[in-house]
Amino acid sequence: MKPLGLGVLGVSRHYGLRLRLPLLKSESIRLVALGSRSAERAASTAATWGFEKGYGSYEAVLDDPEVEAVYIPLPNDSHGEWTKKCADAGKAVICEKPFAMNRHEALDVAQYVAQKGVVGMEAFMYRFHPQWQRAKELMEIGEIGQVLSIQTVFSYKNADPQNIRNQLVTGGGGLYDIGCYAISSARFLLGGEPQRVVSLLQRDDVDGTDVLTSALMDFGQAHMSFTVGTRMAPRQKVTVYGSGGSLELLLPFNAYPDVPLTLRVDNGLGYREIACGPADQYQQMFEAFASAVRQGGPAPTPLEDAVANMAAIDAVFRSEKSGSWEIVH
């Protein structure tokens, strides 16, 4: 397969830390252009990160005929706007989570992308790691019986007021940043949507972002609960409880790319630990996306999924205000 010409909008720390090396190694991706609001920064970073070109604007990346697809790691409130601009330019687009600021915007952008006939996808990379694929397989064959409950914790400690994750105006806060993973992963494992949600949020007195968020989601036969925090010690784990056993993903989201990860399974037959990987989930995601673009779609994760995830996030925010159960719609 001919490598997919990729452009990236913004000099993102996330890209430099987690995507730079796997995409340099990938035979499916050609790093064409990096865009920044500073031409000098774009040029120097592009050279360091292995891009062929650096541009002093995002528009210039979209105007480059060699750019076939664009990755968007911009602040949350810019995702919808620039996804539409990518679609206008005829570029396939893979956008960081959350895909938009609410379900209404997500639906509007998803429909816009579809009308333009380009491949679009939200960048939930965890789904491409073998530990998640194996966990879903085990659940589907009944390894732990009927699934009754999923419990997720995801946290980090960041009180820097200058960090965009702590700025409400750009879509900061724990629910948008990491709560989206808790919700998305439960939907992925259960293969369905929550019907109603009740939540409790604690907000920072100064910046107003949610720093401690917990929610209970009703999936019908199964319940899901999660806690995410941005001022907590870093932790992450997903535990699935069934009528015949349980399974645990010990490093579910920020997976190490160079060592196997452990999936713990405990059922009537006994206890075992399954080594999954090593695998780079970011490289796996981009290669699956590149293949989909080359084949004309569909995306590995359709944008309908992004819209559904935003519907659940909206319900969590509504429950914060109402103090009661909210229907997901």
Q: Does 252 lie in the same domain as 105?
A: no
* pLDDT < 70: residue spans in the chain: none
Q: Does 35 lie in the same domain as 99?
A: yes
Q: How many domains does the chain have?
A: 2
pLDDT score recorded for residue 160: 96
Whole-number average pLDDT of the chain: 98
| CATH number for the domain harbouring residue 187 | 3.30.360.10
- Residue from 212, 227, 218 nearest 151 by CA: 227
Work out the widest C-alpha separation in the chain, in whole angstroms. 61
Cα–Cα distance, 323 to 329 (Å, whole number) = 18
pLDDT score recorded for residue 267: 97
pLDDT score recorded for residue 66: 98
Question: SS3 breakdown of the chain: % helix, strand, coil, rounded to 5?
Answer: 40, 30, 30
pLDDT score recorded for residue 20: 98
Q: Tens digit of pLDDT for each residue in 192-216? A: 999 999 999 999 999 999 999 999 9
Q: Does 287 lie in the same domain as 273?
A: no
Q: Does 193 lie in the same domain as 73?
A: no
Cα–Cα distance, 195 to 220 (Å, whole number) = 7
pLDDT score recorded for residue 201: 98
Q: Does 197 lie in the same domain as 254?
A: yes
Amino acid identity for residue 8 in this structure: V
| CATH number for the domain harbouring residue 86 | 3.40.50.720
Q: Does 83 lie in the same domain as 212?
A: no
Omega of the bond leading into 298 within 30 degrees of 0 (cis): yes
pLDDT score recorded for residue 263: 98
pLDDT score recorded for residue 251: 98
Q: Does 90 lie in the same domain as 60?
A: yes
pLDDT score recorded for residue 252: 98
pTM listed for this prediction: 0.97
Q: What are the distances in angstroms from CA 16 to CA 212, 217, 318?
A: 28, 35, 35
Q: Does 23 lie in the same domain as 171?
A: no
Q: Does 188 lie in the same domain as 89?
A: no
Q: Does 289 lie in the same domain as 239?
A: no
CB within 8 A of 303, min separation 6: which ones? 99, 106, 109, 110, 113, 114, 120, 121, 122
pLDDT score recorded for residue 278: 98
Q: Does 297 lie in the same domain as 234?
A: no
Q: Would you state the structure tokens that stand for residue 239, as one six-digit string?
A: 């535990």
Domain that holds residue 238: 127-280+310-327
Q: Tens digit of pLDDT for each residue in 30-65? A: 999 999 999 999 999 999 999 999 999 999 999 999
Q: Does 132 lie in the same domain as 272?
A: yes
Q: With b meaning 16 or more CB within 10 Å and e meaning fewer, what string describes 291-302?
A: ebbbeebebbbb
Amino acid identity for residue 303 in this structure: L
